[in-house]
Amino acid sequence: MRAVIVREHGPVAQHRLETVPDPVPARGEVLIEARAFGVNFPDLMVMQGSYQLLPPRPFSPGKEVAGVVGAIGAGVERVRLGDRVMALPEYGAFAEKVVVPEAICYRMPPAMPFDEGAVLALAYQTAHFALLERGAYKRGETVLVTGASGGVGLAGVQLAKALGATVIAGVTSKEKGELCKRHGADHVIDLAAPDLRESVRAQVQAAVGKRGVDIVLDSVGGDAFDGALRALAWCGRLVSIGFASGRVPEAKAGYLLVKNLAVLGLQWTDYRGREPGRVQRVQEELYALYGEGKLKPEITARYPLERFAEALARFESRQVQGKIVLLP
């Protein structure tokens, strides 16, 4: 089979698609014959060696794969040969055949295309846990999503809207704002504006009133975080998901105290490892919302597997909106 192989960490252009032996599922494992792969910014970081979790080399990167079950190991009970499934491994997905533990394998709805199945996955899981678990969302609240046109951001916009929120999308261009509106955003604010520490709050209040927002889902960090924190309502919650701006922000405890604010972090990987049954239930909820037409992945580009470097390079140049898919 063919697989993307990382032998030494470095620029994405140095890695190669190689022919390697087919994997064999051990006890409790499932072999997936891949039909589509989701591409994420952390994949680039893993290949470069800058991610917080790095697998032993050589390895195949990739965290999202959809396909058909081609073999099962002893003790597998939940999935069967021929099932259409999606899986969320920590790495190893960018291969024509992928072996994963049954616990992180999710049976897809019968009518879901493989490309959509591959990406109604990590970003939506992240958005769900950020909004409901960490953000303690209650129906009817107001939610600000920064980096709203990206994979996690757009999933957050869709999910919050599906669950009855008033949604504000924070973006850096008119084009990105229009994309977010098509996916349910009620309001759009400009994160390319000067002095975000002040302008985010001003834009939010102009959109929804002086009270501000109940929840912020922040994947940008930096100045956007600083401004979003000031835009929170009394007892508001900011969930930190990532730092796409490059600056890890800091919050002063005195300001949190005065407004009874909470700043929380989300590392979704921990839930997959510690509570796989819970992740399974969340995926079923996401599939149910998909079946109701309330969630729809925005796939903006598809590449054959041999052009993986071209696909990942788009993350380096900040060109990604929605999701990118690789096809074997």
* Domain annotation for the chain: domains and CATH numbers: 2-120+297-327 (3.90.180.10), 124-268 (3.40.50.720)
pLDDT for residue 190: 98
Residue 227: closest CA among 258, 182, 189: 189
Vertex 249 angle, CA 216 and 271, to 5°: 60
Amino acid at 265: G
Token pair in block for residue 251: 């919050």
How far apart CA 151 and CA 193 sit, in angstroms, is: 22
The pLDDT value recorded for residue 95 is 98
Nearest to 241 by CA among 112, 102, 148: 148
- 94-110 residue pLDDT tens: 999 999 999 999 999 99
pLDDT of residue 109: 96
Q: Could you tell me the CA-to-CA distances from 239 to 76, 131, 262, 265, 273 in Å, in that order?
A: 36, 8, 8, 6, 20
Per-residue pLDDT, 315: 85
315 Rama class: left (phi>0) / alpha (psi -120 to 50) / beta: alpha
Alpha-carbon distance of 159 to 131, in angstroms, equals 9
pLDDT of residue 53: 86
Distances (CA, A) of 40 to 119, 237, 311, 327: 9, 26, 10, 14
pTM: 0.95
- At residue 170, the pLDDT reads 98
Query: SS3 for 191-229, per residue?
Result: CCCCCHHHHHHHHHHHHHCCCCEEEEEECCCHHHHHHHH
Q: d(Cα 256, Cα 254) in Å, to the nearest integer?
A: 5
* List of the chain residues with pLDDT < 70: none
